[in-house]
Chain A
Amino acid sequence: MRLLIQSSRRFFRRHPGQFMLALAGMAAGVAVMTGVALMRDVLIDSLDGAAQALAGPGSVRVTSPGEPLDETLFAELARTPGAPALTPVLRQRVRFDQQRLELLGIDPFSGGTRGLLPPAILGALLESPAAAAANAATLERLDRSPGDTLSVGLGERTLELDLVGPVPAGHNLDDRLLMDIAALQDLMGRQGELSWIDAPASARGWLQERLPDSLDLGTAAERRDAAARLTEGMRANLTAMGLISLTVGLFVIFSVLSFLLVQRHRSLALLRAVGVTGNRITALLLTETAIVAGLGALIGLVGGTLLADSLIGLVRMPVAELYGLLAPAGVQPTAGLYVTLWLIAVGAALLAVTGLMREARRIPPGAMLRPPSTDGGPRLVAVAVAFILMALALGIVLASSNLPFAFLALFLALGGFALLAPELGIRILSLLRRIAPNRLPARALALLLAGQARIRPALAALSLALALAAGLAMMVLGFRAAVDDWIDRLLQADSYVSTTQSGVDDATSERIANLPGIETISSARRVTVGDGRQLVAYDLPSRAWAGFEWLAGEGHAAYDAFRAGEVVVVSEPLARRDQLEVGDEVRLETPEGVRHFPVAAIYRDYASERGSIAMHAPLYRELYDDPLRDSLGLYYAENDFDEQALAERLRAIDADLQLTRRESVRETTLAVFDRTFRISWALAALVAIIAVIALVSALLALGLERRRDYATLRALGLTRGRLHALVVCQTAGLALAAALVAVPLAIAIHLGLSLVIQPRAFGWSLPLSWPLTPLAIMLPLAVISGLVAGIYPAWRIGRRDPAPELKGE
């Protein structure tokens, strides 16, 4: 064995590039996988961060659904004999620039917050009513030091806070500023209010016995579940990207290792000839793979952690905007996660090279020359398996409507395609060769095709990565167009009025309706009812009603019944989640008791994943005794309306009213959308980079395997420049073939994500669309990447002295 390891070591010393390439492929794949896993955890942790930081892990939480808790409840509970450690918290969300921050009003002497603050910070919080304490990471992100002031915005108000710190607490306090509860209540005018009370998990029974029924007692697991459900779509998206990048990374390993095998064919045959058994050879290759994969995976874990830390901002912002969750600003890796990922990666790498092992064992003793190419026509078994996998995927999609199964199907389909891609790619290369049979490019492709076994993994990896990036881009563009269309239809009013206060009341809305030049107004009030469903109360003129896109039911005809309060209409996500159809009834718990309303129609909606029920506003106001509106839509009597004058009149009615033009509502919506998908673009770019590594490694392997052929060509008078051109033609051809194979797959991925994954993940469907721009960009980009990727192998191959290659040394 010692002899074997010596030979392996000598080889890697002579070819450090190969070793590095294998490491890089593994590391890149594992890095994306690790980054994704860490970001997923951050999303799940986001709802529970404050509780983790203030009350410790696993705490239970007392809340009052839909309204703040009364602080006297805390005092009463705390004074009760046997009371557990109770942690009262008042939360206030504020803004600083584009960032969202939470002010957490705590009692530093109660429950879990006791001892959280070092004495100096504690003293500062108690003695200065504007003092807010932050952890070191938050101070750094805000670019502030203890002692600085921070101006945060709350609606139209600006509050000046005096920063103290740093609080010795980890990422759970990121972007959360601690204040004394008395100071925060005073600052916000929220006297008497608490947002929640946390208590240790063991206190659950004690609390259950004493809490009034109107209050809610939730566990940490329930909060994590809620965050998990809220962010399900986003996490699923990340997971898919992570798995795909690992797969592409494994292709790199496979192609590098298979190339190593080719290079060492001679020495392995020699070893066999001196009596080394096939088992020994297998053991040697397994050891090599384990070392390369193990080290590469370690580098990947480090890279992934750094990656997640730098990309986390792309995830945090949409999570805050869409779900109101404040995710930690840094990742919180655990040893368990690292070990699991490492084992998965190394295990997968070993599995990926089992085919090579068989090949190595079959090297006959003394076979000094490389084996004749065994690449005959299409591999029927692979093609058959590919079709079986795809059929299976289709079956799963048709049979099940849940998200994990949809992802399983996606993976099966991609796996099937990965088997099929090399066959298609090789066909395409053969066709390309025939376009100009006697030119250098054609000869280059012929040489390429002679080494089919080496280019198969590269073709699969490349086409998968390209298709994934392009398919994802198509889905996002299609989705964006759908959202744009939806918001455009929905925004029927000329402008919108909102308020920084809790809402617009009857009198104010009537005064606004009576302003000169206003033809009519609409209104909307959005409240969350049980189970996260949203109830939207609309006052809609018929023009606004026309803005709904009806997916089922006679929406247009239902206008009168809606206005009569006889029916409601529901959004698509709600219908899907609750399996509602037109004619079914929705159940609503109102202060007036439980009421049932028939569903007249289902409308397209991208505003809430949990789903919305739309109800005629006068009915809502009557049932819920809530006279407020969140926003009003203003319909102008004339087109050239003086908005400046309107804005002034509104200010005269109430200084808290804000006028927003229709166009800027649309722009804001699309901006949020774009921010949500930034992480997808970032990951797609990373997958593409890994694919380029795959391409380079495959070409290097190929080039070195073909060195005798190249040497022959050189000896026959092919200049170094022509040889360079030959190699670059090969890489560009390979990339083009992969890109062409990727086209149908990209379309399939786009359709799968839009029609299968989106409805299951978010509840909404996307109208079928064909945004072809990503394909138009992908093809030339792939060829350019192929050209660029060919430069290094061309230089390596061209630099070789042909004589020793010909001698077979």
Chain B
Amino acid sequence: MRRDLLILTTIALALVAWLAWQTRPEPARDGRLNTSNLLNDAPESFRQVTGPRPFEFPADHAAHPGYRNEWWYFTGNLDGPDGDAWGFQFTLFRFELDAGPRPDSAWTADAVWMAHLALSDADQGIFHQAERFARGALDLAGATEKRWWLRDWQVTRNETGFQLEAGTDSFGLDLAMEPIREVVRQGDRGYSQKGPQAGNASHYYSITRLKTKGAIQVDGETIPVDGLAWLDREWGSSQLAGNLAGWDWFSLQLDDGRDLMVYRLRTEDGEASRFSAGKVVYPDGDSRTLGRGDFTATPQRDWQDSEGHQWPVAWRVEVPSEDLNLAVEARFDEQRWSGAVSYWEGAVGVRDAQTDKSMGRGYLELSGYAE
């Protein structure tokens, strides 16, 4: 009797399982892009960065067609009226498409644009993020000397600096950013070599301090803020060598007036590549290039995201020649991008590793940990 029951139950369960399989949901979308591939894959038809070139402003604020990728990258730390601390990021990425037949249509585009907008609520530990794409057609996205935009998110250049306006239903930024340092040419006069091959490089300039004032909107509330921002501009074609696993990039604004940018290019075995580099910018505008041997960056603590990936969100950064021994740590751990590109980009605090005294603030970017 038990056996009969077992047989019937088994048959019934098999039928139910088959029916359940029929009602399975449609396959989930996975439009994720690999960060390293975005930067190392470019056919030969693209222009290569092979050496320094003079920068010309404002012309070089505009897009540089012919290169595979280019970005306009703002990050910054802001303070609210009640001692509340905020971090923000606004980035426009341009990916130029392979040359090919160009259909006769207003939609035909030479490039695809991606914009990332993030607001880090350091006190509540909330990371607001929004991602947008557009083709470079129908005036949907672009970058000229005067304006960088994707749909209604835009940065306009005026006499005093830059005006950033970007928002979503739940958060937004409206910030006036005034450069208080000159443009810094990264690497060798703006030629930033990142790998051994010709073309494993970018043209790279920064404005490491922009006095920032404006307002942020969060959940319908408008909060006046001020603080400091940082602008990075970079373009190139096959910037990274093929054997890189990712990078760790620091932009730190120290209270003593120095700004420090260092990046560690990680090889697949986790070591810093010899093309890792950096720059110290002094309050008077002078700067000094840092080579691989001039600094160390050592992870101190990992944070595990909901997908199980480990992100090193606390670091020891040492620049002996500058007498800097810095403990750099995320203002809060969960500042990970979960859109088309998986990376961690967040506001960090900087302390003296010996005395634990606060020394400044900055931004940290981690890539290649979720691929």
Contact = CB atoms under 8 A, between A and B. Distances in A.
Contacts of B133: 109-110, 114
Nearest to B16: A298
A328 to B, nearest CB: 11
Interface string A68-100: 000110110011111100000000000000000
Nearest to A183: B103
B29 A78 contact: no
B6 interface: no
Interface stretch (B54-62, B106-114, B118-126, B343-351): B106-114
Given A115-B29, A335-B20, A338-B19, A180 B152 contact: no
A109 B105 contact: no
B12 A78 contact: no
Contacts of B152: 79-83
A344 interface: no
Given A9-B4, A75-B139, A118-B30, A182 B107 contact: yes
A186 interface: yes
Given A334-B23, A335-B20, A75 B138 contact: yes
A168 B27 contact: yes
Given A182-B105, A338-B23, A117 B31 contact: yes
Contact of A6 (B1, B19, B98): B1
How would you classify the secondary structure of chain B's contact residues: helix, strand, loop or mixed?
loop
Contact of A71 (B26, B107, B151): B107
Q: How big is chain B's contact interface, by range? A: 35 or more
Q: Which of B101, B107, B151 has the most CB of A within 10 A?
A: B107
B107 A107 contact: yes
A278 to B, nearest CB: 24
A180 B135 CA distance: 11
Q: How big is chain A's contact interface, by range? A: 35 or more
B97 A127 contact: yes
Contacts of B33: 119
A82 B140 CA distance: 14
A71 B106 contact: yes
A127 B19 contact: no
B100 interface: yes
Given A82-B152, A181-B105, A305-B19, A116 B140 contact: no
A347 interface: no
B138 A72 contact: yes
B1 to A, nearest CB: 6
A259 B213 CA distance: 88
Contacts of A744: none
Contact of B27 (A82, A169, A186, A305): A169
A191 B15 contact: no
Contacts of A334: 23
A170 interface: yes
A401 interface: no
A185 B19 contact: no
B134 interface: yes
Given A78-B140, A109-B112, A298-B19, A170 B134 contact: no
Contact of B22 (A182, A298, A305): A305
A333 B112 CA distance: 38
Interface in B140-160: 140, 151-152
B11 interface: yes
Q: Which of B8, B23, B30, B340 has the most CB of A within 10 A?
A: B23
Contacts of A79: 139-140, 151-152
A335 B340 CA distance: 32
B23 A335 contact: yes
Interface string A103-132: 000010110001111110011001111000
Contacts of A215: none
Q: Which of A107, A109, A183, A302 has the most CB of B within 10 A?
A: A109
Contact of B134 (A9, A109, A119, A291): A109
Contacts of B30: 115, 118, 168
A49 to B, nearest CB: 12
A307 to B, nearest CB: 13
A123 B33 CA distance: 12
A302 B17 CA distance: 10
Interface of B: 1, 4, 8, 11-12, 15-16, 18-20, 22-23, 26-27, 29-31, 33, 97-98, 100-101, 103-109, 112, 133-135, 137-140, 151-152, 167, 169, 340
16 contacts: A13-B4, A71-B138, A82-B152, A83-B151, A109-B134, A110-B133, A115-B29, A116-B31, A181-B105, A181-B107, A185-B104, A191-B105, A295-B12, A299-B15, A301-B15, A338-B19
Given A75-B140, A191-B105, A301-B15, 16 more contacts: A107-B107, A115-B31, A118-B31, A127-B100, A128-B101, A168-B27, A168-B29, A180-B107, A181-B105, A183-B103, A186-B104, A191-B106, A192-B106, A298-B16, A299-B15, A335-B20
